[in-house]
């Protein structure tokens, strides 16, 4: 598979995220339904966090088990820095820029939270693009195709995760949907290009750690928006549904051999 074919198929895998984004244009839903859908988004992100943590832990644990203490120390340091920047960086960004002119104690607007979710997912999708590009660059065509199909199907569900906070609260324009999809899905395309020529455990750990830190912050914000007593039951139900939906999607990929 040459570079042009790899990049084209990698772009398809990334931009399937647009399949789920139009759900954000649903109008007139009850507060309970909105909370359910919003926390379904949180459930998807919670599963994604565990999935990311498993992936980034693998090379660190491998270096430790093989007594590669220097490599282990480097990868562990990269993880610590990446996770800290991913989490604390969003907190500082919110305090210094997003809430600069907002009333004290006011949380993120649904639009801004959706963009932050897209950014966190984008960091994760960058690492998926690296895997696609690396496989194609090594000549493992069949495996690369499986990754493209599998990640494409998985990314299609991430659009729901991005739009969850908006449903029933704000009506996003098609331009906003286009921007959110570009932030969330575009990194798969970029990762495919970079991975075709170069990839390393350090690169993967860095971007996965950044994504993990960002998702911790985002999940916390979604919980904050849906913790009122009158909607707690629907919020909990949405969390369970979202987590199980993402888990079952991941099982499909495992069955397919991705």
pLDDT of residue 21: 86
Ranges of residues in the chain whose predicted pLDDT is under 50:
101-104
What pLDDT is stored for residue 143 in this prediction? 59
Give whole-number Cα distances, 143 to 40, 158, 247, in Å.
31, 22, 22
pLDDT of residue 253: 66
Residue 78 pLDDT: 93
Q: What local confidence, expressed as pLDDT, does residue 101 receive?
A: 46
Whole-prediction pTM: 0.69
Q: How many domains does the chain have?
A: 1
pLDDT score at 254: 72
Q: Is 161 exposed, middle or buried (0-12, 13-18, 19+ CB in 10 A)?
A: buried
Predicted confidence at residue 68, as pLDDT, reads 77
Range of the domain at 214: 3-255
What's the pLDDT score for residue 140? 64
Between the CA atoms of 29, 43, 85 and 17, what dihedral angle is there, to the nearest 10 degrees?
Answer: -70
Buried b / exposed e across 100-110, counting CB within 10 Å, b at 16+? eeeeeeeebbb
Distance CA 70, CA 114 (A): 39
Q: Write out pLDDT tens, residues 83-135.
A: 998 888 777 766 665 555 444 455 567 888 888 888 878 877 887 787 778 77
Rounded Cα–Cα distance for residues 165 and 110 (Å): 5
What pLDDT does residue 106 have? 53
């Amino acid at each position: 598979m040459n570079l042009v074919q790899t990049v084209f198929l990698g772009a398809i895998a990334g931009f399937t995220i647009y399949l789920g984004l139009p759900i954000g244009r649903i109008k007139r839903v009850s507060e309970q339904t909105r909370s359910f859908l919003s926390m379904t988004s949180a459930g998807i992100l919670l599963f994604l966090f565990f999935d990311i943590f498993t992936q980034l832990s693998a090379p660190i644990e491998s270096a430790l088990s093989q007594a590669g203490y220097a490599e282990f120390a480097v990868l562990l340091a990269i993880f610590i820095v990446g996770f800290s920047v991913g989490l604390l960086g969003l907190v500082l960004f919110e305090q210094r820029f997003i809430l600069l002119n907002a009333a004290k104690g006011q949380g993120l607007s649904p639009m801004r939270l959706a963009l932050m979710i897209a950014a966190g997912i984008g960091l994760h999708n960058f690492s998926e693009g690296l895997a696609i590009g690396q496989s194609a660059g090594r000549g493992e065509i069949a495996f690369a195709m499986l990754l493209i199909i599998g990640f494409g199907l998985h990314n299609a569900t991430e659009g729901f995760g991005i739009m969850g906070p908006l449903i029933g609260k704000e009506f996003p324009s098609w331009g906003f949907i286009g921007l959110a999809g570009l932030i969330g899905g575009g990194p798969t395309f970029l990762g495919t290009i970079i991975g075709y020529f170069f990839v390393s455990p350090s690169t993967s750990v860095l971007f996965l750690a950044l994504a993990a830190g960002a998702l911790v912050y985002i999940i916390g914000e979604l919980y904050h928006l849906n913790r009122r007593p009158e909607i707690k039951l629907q919020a909990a139900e949405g969390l369970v549904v979202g987590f199980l939906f993402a888990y079952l999607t991941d099982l499909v990929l495992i069955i397919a051999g991705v």
